[in-house]
Homo-oligomer: A and B are copies of this chain.
Amino acid sequence: MSKLYLVGMGPGDERLITPLASAVIAQCSDVVAYGLYLDLLADMTTGKHCHDLPLGEEIGRARLALDLAASGKATALVSSGDIGIYAMATLVFELLDQQLNGAENHPEWLAVDIEVVPGISAMQAAASRVGAMLGHDFCTISLSDLLTPWPVIEQRLHGAGSGDFVVSFYNPVSKKRDWQLNSARDILLQYRPANTPVVIGRQLTRSDEDIRFTRLGDLKANDVDMFTLVSVGNRETRHIVNGSKEWIYTPRGYASKA
């Protein structure tokens, strides 16, 4: 049976690529990815057919992966982080769904055996670098309003605020989206204090990693770019300083204040 692996490669550090991810890529003749990831994976993809489609061609990449697998080539579609979290896996299943609904004309896709390999996501990398920010209930919100209308995102921000979740923002800004993070900050400030700890993590676990600590009231979209993850603590999250080291952690419960 033709095989398609959907593989998350983790945040960047090669030592965070799971052995399962490495093993399934080794079994494949074809690898589909955004070019930048293929560069990072050069050692793992020697001798394989690498299919590079630019950013913005996500649906095209999912189609290509299904087509290659359906043609009998063992194929890996790879992304950074966890391919199941804000990444390519869901697009593959959307295409299958459309085929099942008759909106596509690729019955051969339905014969492809699909296996998903999870990976370490950016929020986990950020939390581990600063301590234990995700120690209690948390949520993720993408601030990209390209596919989700802003009023839906606003509703979600209010849910995150009223529920007092630790919040990790994916896609916090882009060249064309420069105000959403500031609006998100202002909504969260309705629910938690201005001195709530925030971490801004750029190029996490990579050689040019940059991690900054700030406070919710001081968070500005101008300090963030599209390679950045932003995590905002909940009302219990603590910032502690031990000499030259500082940490952020979220306690397990609320009992200490009860």
Contact = CB atoms under 8 A, between A and B. Distances in A.
Nearest to A82: B124
B20 A18 contact: no
User: How many copies altogether?
Assistant: 2
Nearest to A130: B116
A163 B160 CA distance: 7
Contact of A238 (B19, B97, B117): B97
A34 interface: no
Contacts of A96: 240, 242, 247
Given A96-B240, A119-B120, A240-B100, A132 B254 contact: no
A242 B10 CA distance: 29
Interface of A: 6, 10, 13-20, 23, 82, 84-87, 89-94, 96-97, 100, 110, 114, 116-121, 124-125, 127-129, 131-142, 146-149, 152, 155-165, 238, 240-243, 247, 249-255, 258
